[in-house]
Structure formats: structure tokens, C-alpha cells
Structure 1
Amino acid sequence: MEDALEKIEAIRNKEIHHRIKNNLQVISSLLGLQVEKFNNRECIKNSEILEAFKERQDRVMSIVLIHEELHKGEERDTLNFSPYLEKLVENLLQTYRLGNVDISLNLDLEENVSFDMDTAVPLGMVVNELVSNSLKYAFLGRNKGIIQIRLFSEETGQNFNDSKRELPVRDTMYTLIVSDNGVSIPQKINFENPGTLGLQLVSVLVDQLDGKIELTRNKGTEFKIGFNVSRVNKNLCF
């Protein structure tokens, strides 16, 4: 009976992810139709309005891909993040076709890294914003460029998740680095006064992860994000 109930719950969760994905795709399609409509108006065609709609479409698609991967995967509540990240950035490269600019994408991602929705959604949106920013601004006037994404972890030890010290929890510190070798972000831009909606959103999302972000300008731009993930260590439960 327990096995049967577990299978029913797994099917129900997959159906939920499938429906959420479909609903988000409808929203993305509506935004795409609006972009096409604006493209037919010369007064709007090259304006910030059109760019804003495209950016919102990308943000929606970053969440669509999460529910798509969860629907396909075996895990009910966690996402294998590295394959998702690969798919996300490949979609962004196709979206921002930069004429004759040759953009190389270097991915160095730890395998079998799984996050729940509370981590996967904001982290996916952070990557979406940072990679989009590089594709739009870092290589202006250049004929080639490199975008690199690294994701790795370091186990920080054991603690307990309540005052009774009954459930051992494993803490893991993750580091995400998104960098490019293009034109560095201007010195006047920082996270205290980002000046753009994209960087404001990145700052809010990193706070949501209880993480920290560092910006380095050295022959390009590098964003380094550190955040902690705690999981119950079943091997130590008693």
C-alpha cells in the first residue's frame, strides 16, 4: 500500500510540473506575440520596450526549463542542476544571435548537483540575467568572446536542524562563477546602486538564497556567488 501511494504521489507531482510548465509556456508565447507585434512598428522596433519584453520572456523560460526537467526526471522534488544549466545557456545563445560575433561557452560544472525548487529557481534566474548581460553588452565591437560558468561545492560539516539535535544536517557551500572576457562593467555600476533592473534582480535573488556575491573587473567581468545548502544526512539519522 505504501509503495502504491508513493507511485501515485510521484505521478501527481509530475503532472503538476507538466501543467505549470504548460502554463508558463503560454505566458512566454503571449510575450513572444507581443514582441512580433512591436517588431512591425518602426517607432518601437529598436526601443527599450521591445528589449524589456524579450528579457521577460527569457526569465519565464528559465523557470519553464526547470519544470520541464523535473517532469522528465526521476526525482520528485529536486533538480539535477548541471544539465539544466547547460540547456539554459544554450537557449540563451540561440536567443541572442550576435551577427558575426563568435561566442565560445566554457562550462565547468560539478556533476550530480541537485537543488530543490527554493534554490533552483532563483539560481537559474541569476544565471539567466548574468549570461544575458554578457551576451548583450560584453562583446560590442568585437568579433569573438568567451563566457565561462563554473559550479562547484565544498562540504562544510555537520550540524543539527533543531534545538533537540535529533536530525543531523550536512552543510554544503556552493560557488557559482559567471565570467566573460569582454568589456568590463563600468566602475560606476555596483550592487548598492546597480542602475539596471537585471542587476537589481540578481541582488534580490542572491539575498533570497542567503548568499553573497562579488563583482571583479579584470580583463572582463566576473560574478562570484557563494551560497549554502543544508540537507538531512540520512546516513547519520538515528
Structure 2
Amino acid sequence: MESGSAERDLARERERLQFIIDGAGLGTWEWDVRTNRTEFNETWASMLGYTLAELTPYDYGTWANLVHPDDLARAEAALADCLSGRSENYECEFRMRHKDGHWVWILDQGRVMTRDSTGRPSLMFGTHTDISRLKRSEEELRRGLEEKELLLRETHHRIKNNIASIASLLSLQAGYVTSPEAQSALNEALSRVRSMQTLYTKMLSAHENVRDVSVPGYLTELTDSVVGLFPTAAAVTVEKRLAPITLDAKRLFPLGIILNELLTNAMKYAFQGRARGRIEISLDPGAGRAVFSVRDDGIGLPLDLDPSAPRGFGLTLVRILSEQLGGAARFESAGGTKVTVDFPA
């Protein structure tokens, strides 16, 4: 009685397992590693457009002959890892040839069920899952992302070219005006435009992206560009101490404008009546923050200047952009001018 009950329980368990396999649409295979004989279910064959009768007699070679030649070595290497015990489970994605000639993407998974007394594999069991639809979706997504990336890069190139055109027009106009005030205003505008141009050039250079731009690289190029606009550039020594960190373009852009404004102010006002001058630019990382500062050894800030409410457009812009970065600008005037911006990095 007990034996009959156990057999019925086993039969029900097999029926339940078969129901799960059929419901999931899984192809199953059993491989006797010693004899090379294999057993497949009908779903295994139908995934490839066959009936089991059409594949008879079948063995390991039946599977190997249907796998895409470019994928076979990789699949067999994964099998070898499982058979040797280097990997507990076997899993591989590959293409198999359908009866009508097209390729079907298969996810093949399995494991060794039994080993002999010496540890050699005896029987292996596994399943096939048709993942062709998933692969098509992945390919469509990949192509869509490539198209969007190409469009984005083209847009950036157009913006970069437009910025270059604006910079050229400002430079040309500055060469024609005779008023010192007008020429100064045009040069300041040109300097701001060039800070944007430098960032776009940096982002579009090899392998740069808007999420991970080198801060030292960008600020160094921008510094050279801004200082080079002034005829007194050769008389000013610029020292840079910039930690090797990266920032996304959204934060790097305002930081570049801040540097542009501070350098412009220093070059215009700090060294009046002097033959030479010095500017120090530093960027130091902290615990989740960065400290950026520009210091000169010039004449210092005007005595009547209130740093919390600066009158000039440039310093007002520095304060606003510092707040946009989530930080604050601190102005000091001792032995020159020093402006420090502490912000989350």
C-alpha cells in the first residue's frame, strides 16, 4: 500500500513538473555524457520548427550542428566549465538555425545531475528558452540609443559652431570700436562666450561626455583662454593647483563662468600701476564637497565694497552662480583679493 501511494505521489509530482515546463514554454534536454545520447521534448524541437521525429536519431551532435558556428565554441566552453565542476550551473545564450533558415536566439541553462564515484559527470539536464523577442527588443533599443546619441552629438556640434560664430563676431566688433568702455564690454562678453566654447569643445573631445568631464582639463584651457585676451598676460604668472576630479557639465558650466569673471576682474583691476602680478587658482576635494578659489596679489577689493551685495555685474554673477552650485562665495581682501567657493561635489 505504501509503495503504491509513493508511486502515485511521484506520478503527480512528475505531472505537476511537466505542467510547469509546458506552461513556461521550455524546451528540455537530457544528456548522457558517457554515451553521448540525448533526449529532447517536443517544445525543444518546435522552437526550431521541427518535430522530434524529424530530428531522430538525435544525440549531442544534433544540438551542436544546429548552433550558429560563431557561437558554438563559447557554448561548449560554458559546458566544459560545468562538466569539470568549475561552475555549478551552465548558462549560455546562442543562436540556433530554424528549419526555414533563420536564426533563433536561445537561452540554454542546465546542470550536472549525477556523477560517478570518481566525480566524472554522468547525466546532465537543462532547458531551452526562446529569447528571440527579447534580443530583437534589445537590438531596437540599442539602435534607438545610437540614433539619439548621434542626434545629441550633432546638436552639440551645431551649438559649438554657433558659439564659435558669436565669438568671432564679438572679436571682430571689438576690433572696430574706438571707445575703451565699449571695447572692454565686448571683450568681457567674448570671454564669457569662450568659456562656454571651451566646455563644449571639452565635452565633444575623445570619449568625454556630459556626465564626466575633467575639471582640471577644462579649467586649465579656460584660464589660458581668458588670460590670453589681455595684452598684459605675459606679465602675470598664473599658478594652478587643481585636484583630478570630474564633474557633470551642469555643474562645470557655472564653475567656468565664475572662473572667467574672477580672472577678468583680476586682469583688469588687480595689478594697476604694477609691472608684474600673480594669480593662484586652486581646487581641493573634501568630504563630498569641493573648495574652489582664485587669489591674486594685487591691490585688493575696494574699501567700500560690500561682498554680500556687490555692485558690479561680474561679482554679482559670481554670487548667483555659487548659489546655483549649492554653495556660497566668500570674498577676502588681505594682501590681494581671494574669492572662495565651497560647493557639493
Into which bin does the TM-score normalised by the smaller protein fall? 0.7 to 0.9
> Contact (CA 8 Å) 1:185, 1:221: kept in 2 or not?
yes
Aligned amino acid, residue 164 of structure 2: Q
Aligned residues: 205
Question: Partner of 2:177: helix, strand, or coil?
Answer: helix
The Cα of 1:16 is off from its aligned counterpart by: 2.2
Alpha-carbon distance in structure 2 between the residues aligned to 1:6 and 1:150: 38
Aligned amino acid, residue 324 of structure 2: Q
The Cα of 1:184 is off from its aligned counterpart by: 0.5
Alpha-carbon distance in structure 2 between the residues aligned to 1:122 and 1:103: 25
TM-score if structure 2 supplies the norm length? Answer: 0.56
Residues 126-164 of structure 1 show CA distances to partners (whole Å, capped at 9, x for unaligned) of 000001111111111111111000011113xxxxxxxxx
1:162 paired residue number: none
Alpha-carbon distance in structure 2 between the residues aligned to 1:147 and 1:6: 44
Residues 79-136 of structure 1 show CA distances to partners (whole Å, capped at 9, x for unaligned) of 212111101111122111217x62111000011x222222011110000000111111
Q: What pairs with 1:1-12 in structure 2 (closer than 5 Å)?
A: 1=139, 4-12=143-151
Deviates more, 1:29-38 or 1:63-72: 29-38
1:159 paired residue number: none
RMSD of the TM alignment (CA)? 1.7
Counterpart pick for 1:24 among 163, 166, 171:
163
> Contact (CA 8 Å) 1:104, 1:147: kept in 2 or not?
yes
> Contact (CA 8 Å) 1:102, 1:143: kept in 2 or not?
yes
1:126 paired residue number: 258
- Does the alignment pair 1:103 with 2:236? yes
Counterpart pick for 2:177 among 33, 38, 41:
38
The Cα of 1:196 is off from its aligned counterpart by: 0.9
> Contact (CA 8 Å) 2:283, 2:292: kept in 1 or not?
yes
Q: What pairs with 1:169-180 in structure 2 (closer than 5 Å)?
A: 172-180=288-296
Percent identity between matched residues is 29
Aligned amino acid, residue 88 of structure 1: L
Counterpart pick for 1:144 among 254, 276, 284:
276
The Cα of 1:222 is off from its aligned counterpart by: 0.5
Specify which structure has the bigger relative contact order, considering alpha-carbon pairs within 8 angstroms and separated by 6 or more residues: 1
Q: Which runs of 5 or more residues in structure 1 are unaligned?
A: 156-171, 230-238
The Cα of 1:4 is off from its aligned counterpart by: 4.9
The Cα of 1:37 is off from its aligned counterpart by: 2.2
Alpha-carbon distance in structure 2 between the residues aligned to 1:51 and 1:214: 26
- Does the alignment pair 1:72 with 2:227? no
Q: Which runs of 5 or more residues in structure 2 are unaligned?
A: 1-138
- Does the alignment pair 1:204 with 2:332? no
